[in-house]
Structure 1
Amino acid sequence: MKKRLTAAILVCLLLFPLESLGVWRQLEGTQVSAKGAALYDPAAKTFLYEKQGDTQLPMASTTKIMTALLVLEHLPLEEEHTIKPEWTGIEGSSIYLKAGEKLTTYNLLCGLLLESGNDAAVALSCLVSGSEEAFCRLMNEKAAELGLVNTHFQSASGLDGDAHYTTAKDLAVLTGVAMAQEEFAAIVSQKTISTGDRVMKNHNKLLTLSQEVCGVKTGFTKKAGRCLVSAARREGRLLIAITLGAPDDWNDHLRLYDSAFALCAPQQVLEGGAAGSALVLSGEKSQVELYYNGSFAPFLTEEERQDVSVQVTGPRTVCAPVQAGKVYGTLQVRLGDGVIYETPVYYKETVEKLPPAKTFWQKIWQGLWGGK
């Protein structure tokens, strides 16, 4: 592996597309109770399983994933807010906000994501956009930005509406973006959070049923039925499962994860060492060797291992002086359309700047033969 990295900056282990391998076809027989379902790898940006994945369906309180994502983009977590009367007594699930009480953005997000408070959703939407209607416009703009072409929002909470829908695949992509936010992932992974005089309990039963589950959000309305978004991590690999309209959602998700992870094993991709070289301008040497530290053995199928590529990103040429141990660029491991691992690439040696006394012909000789 080290020799291949030295020989070429971009290493493609095999050039067959993932879909042609049919590696995940074994999951097609997995039975789920959902009207729409998907299993998604957000790092590789690859769908491993779907059932009516592009069918538009109501999403209930899984809507709050988008609400939380936008709140994190617009409001500081520590900012304190005074609750207005019009944000209280909202239909559906509630954290029972009281007019005049003061809560931080973080407090409200916990109420939104753990207790699924519709009043928290309304309060946060108004704090961001001035009104829930204006916030819904922001939600739909974000959906368009993320390429969620089969999703439309009509509320910040997820109450049923004729123009409020998503698909299992769109919701998976949205959740992948949200889970990449450290603050979001930290909140949805908690079983219980105490904020002030409130103790908020997560409705996501999967956090108790499996130690591998690390989020995300439940939902229910009469129209939508039981909706569940979850994420699970095994051997460092994160997968996201979506079920919409699923009477047996807890078991659906556990079944999908068990079936998918059973196909995977640690696959050695990186072992540390040489990472090629870079051209040096105005230096005592015309090239400088590069290296990276550490190993990487992602949790993949045998077929996926063959589709992995390794790429070093950085300038094609650098100007002397360069110092050994300083960062040159980044080594990326890619799978599908995504980056599943990154690590710094360093200069292996110091190359001093060419002294002014060097003659024109000395510089030509160095450029041709790499001599000093």
Structure 2
Amino acid sequence: MILLQKRIIHIFIVMLVLLTFNSQVWAGEPQIIGETAVLLDAKSGAVLYGKEEHKKMYPASTTKVLTALLALEHSGLTDQVTIGPNPIKAGGTSIWLQDGEQLTMQELIYALMLNSANDAGVAIAEHIAGSADKFAELSNERLRKIGAKNTHFTNPHGMPDKEHYSTAYDLALIGREALKNEDLRKIMTTINHEIPRADPEAQRHLFNHNKLLWSKTYGYKGATGLKTGYTVEAGQCIIASAERDGMELIAVVLRSEGFNIWTDAVKLLDYGFNNFTNRQLVQGGTVMADVPVKYGNGSVKLLTKNDFYYSLPKEGQFDLHVTTEPAEDVRAPITKGQVLGAVVIRNGEEVVGEVPLVAQEEVKRDWGTTLKGLIKWGLLPLLLLLWIRRRVYLKRKRQQRLARRRKYYNYLD
């Protein structure tokens, strides 16, 4: 059954036609003390506020969000990590790891994210990549996949280096990727954690530096992470996130001062929750079309590849249309997951997003159908051409006979 004929595109036409939100009164943009800042909708990826968000800055320990994410992507939580001689030379905040000591990867990530332990960062890097330098290469490769174009890391912890830099926007992208990992979410929201260590005098108790999670003064309702940071060169830094009513926001502030790092983050999050909402306009995995396949047996169903969320101010008028536009000429063979069109989201005439349409299943070339096509479009024209050639040949032969007869009669005369 054809769910949607080709080029009939209005699936969710007028999802939100001239829709008006009349909730809270629009509040002015927040006044941020930090040198650079950004507020990102975690689901849609939309920038809701920016202050020099693409300016390159020292990221300090916010670097560790990516280190933790790579640790979870490239190792198991129960992996045993043997500490070498380099972690104890990391400098800065530390849990004083000892050469030869063994901890699980999970305990090292807790130390990295709660206590901001630089030595744990080096131990993780060496376990995964063999060295901190190799780990930096892995980090930069992952950054390119995330889309953090203005970020370059040289170490796993964020200690000052002129070639180690990022931007508020890129750090928000890193945070957005990190929030997709449930293990990392659990670690980032843990307030206290105790790690087992052989030395009874070694530091075991870890306490989360992110006051948004626990402070009576600066605690924030719905806080979900992520990480603070500080060096003299970087100043106070934070990647903060919070979730309310199904909407999750990421606030990044770089080079703030003292308690302003908390008030800046709170201002950004409040601004986002008070003035914006988001709507899921496309659900991934939904069948949107069933289109015929040339040279194939039947048709192929097209699915949306991913979800699509759109961020909206709570006040304003919108003319949102979600339409599906399958490819015009679909031919076998087709591989499962092959892109064959798109769902296009428009606000009025402006395209605000696209979701690829992909094949639900493989469609092989049907040689019987192909042969029929060749007969229809190849054999019949060939037969017609042969018939024309035959007619031309017979006409020429008839003309030759007539010419011979005329020559004979002229000879008799």
Alignment-derived partner of residue 43 in structure 1: 43
Q: Which runs of 4+ in 1 moved over 6 A?
A: 266-270, 274-277, 310-313, 332-335
Looking at structure 2, the residues matched to 156 and 334 of structure 1 have their Cα atoms a distance apart, in angstroms, of: 39
> Which stretches in structure 1 are left out of the alignment for 5+ residues?
17-25, 288-296, 318-331, 340-372
Alignment-derived partner of residue 368 in structure 2: none
Paired residues for 1:169-180 under 5 Å: 169-180=169-180
- Alpha-carbon spacing, 1:27–1:166, altered in 2? closer, same or farther (3 Å): farther
Indicate conservation of the 8 Å contact 1:235/1:298, yes or no: no
The reply on whether 1:78 has 2:78 as its aligned counterpart is yes
Looking at structure 2, the residues matched to 93 and 67 of structure 1 have their Cα atoms a distance apart, in angstroms, of: 16
Indicate conservation of the 8 Å contact 2:9/2:323, yes or no: no
Alignment-derived partner of residue 201 in structure 1: 207
The reply on whether 1:236 has 2:237 as its aligned counterpart is no
Counterpart of 2:235 (choices 225, 230, 233) is 225
TM-score for the superposition, normalised by structure 2: 0.64
User: Percent sequence identity over matched residues?
Assistant: 32
Looking at structure 2, the residues matched to 244 and 181 of structure 1 have their Cα atoms a distance apart, in angstroms, of: 24
Looking at structure 1, the residues matched to 108 and 321 of structure 2 have their Cα atoms a distance apart, in angstroms, of: 41
Indicate conservation of the 8 Å contact 1:39/1:239, yes or no: yes
Alignment-derived partner of residue 113 in structure 2: 113
Indicate conservation of the 8 Å contact 1:40/1:47, yes or no: yes
Paired residues for 1:335-346 under 5 Å: 337=353
Deviation of 1:184 after TM superposition, in Å, equals 1.4
| CA deviation map 1:51-103 (0-9, x unaligned) | 01111111100011111122122111111112223322530001221222221
Opposite residue 171 of structure 2, the aligned amino acid is L
Paired residues for 1:1-372 under 5 Å: 10-13=11-14, 29-196=29-196, 198-208=204-214, 209-247=219-257, 248-264=260-276, 278=290, 301-302=313-314, 303=316, 306-307=319-320, 309=322, 337=353
Looking at structure 1, the residues matched to 138 and 160 of structure 2 have their Cα atoms a distance apart, in angstroms, of: 19
* SS state at 1:69 partner: helix
Deviation of 1:250 after TM superposition, in Å, equals 0.4
* SS state at 2:44 partner: coil
Opposite residue 208 of structure 2, the aligned amino acid is N
Looking at structure 1, the residues matched to 82 and 134 of structure 2 have their Cα atoms a distance apart, in angstroms, of: 20
Looking at structure 1, the residues matched to 59 and 179 of structure 2 have their Cα atoms a distance apart, in angstroms, of: 18
Looking at structure 1, the residues matched to 345 and 64 of structure 2 have their Cα atoms a distance apart, in angstroms, of: 31
Opposite residue 119 of structure 2, the aligned amino acid is D
Looking at structure 2, the residues matched to 280 and 144 of structure 1 have their Cα atoms a distance apart, in angstroms, of: 38
Looking at structure 2, the residues matched to 29 and 163 of structure 1 have their Cα atoms a distance apart, in angstroms, of: 33
Indicate conservation of the 8 Å contact 1:109/1:120, yes or no: yes
* SS state at 1:245 partner: strand
Opposite residue 206 of structure 1, the aligned amino acid is L
Looking at structure 2, the residues matched to 311 and 137 of structure 1 have their Cα atoms a distance apart, in angstroms, of: 40
Deviation of 1:111 after TM superposition, in Å, equals 0.6
* SS state at 2:256 partner: coil
Opposite residue 191 of structure 1, the aligned amino acid is I
> Which stretches in structure 2 are left out of the alignment for 5+ residues?
18-25, 198-203, 300-308, 331-342, 347-351, 356-413
Looking at structure 2, the residues matched to 236 and 298 of structure 1 have their Cα atoms a distance apart, in angstroms, of: 13
Looking at structure 2, the residues matched to 189 and 36 of structure 1 have their Cα atoms a distance apart, in angstroms, of: 25
Across the aligned residues of Structure 1 and Structure 2, the Cα RMSD in angstroms comes to: 4.3
TM-score for the superposition, normalised by structure 1: 0.70
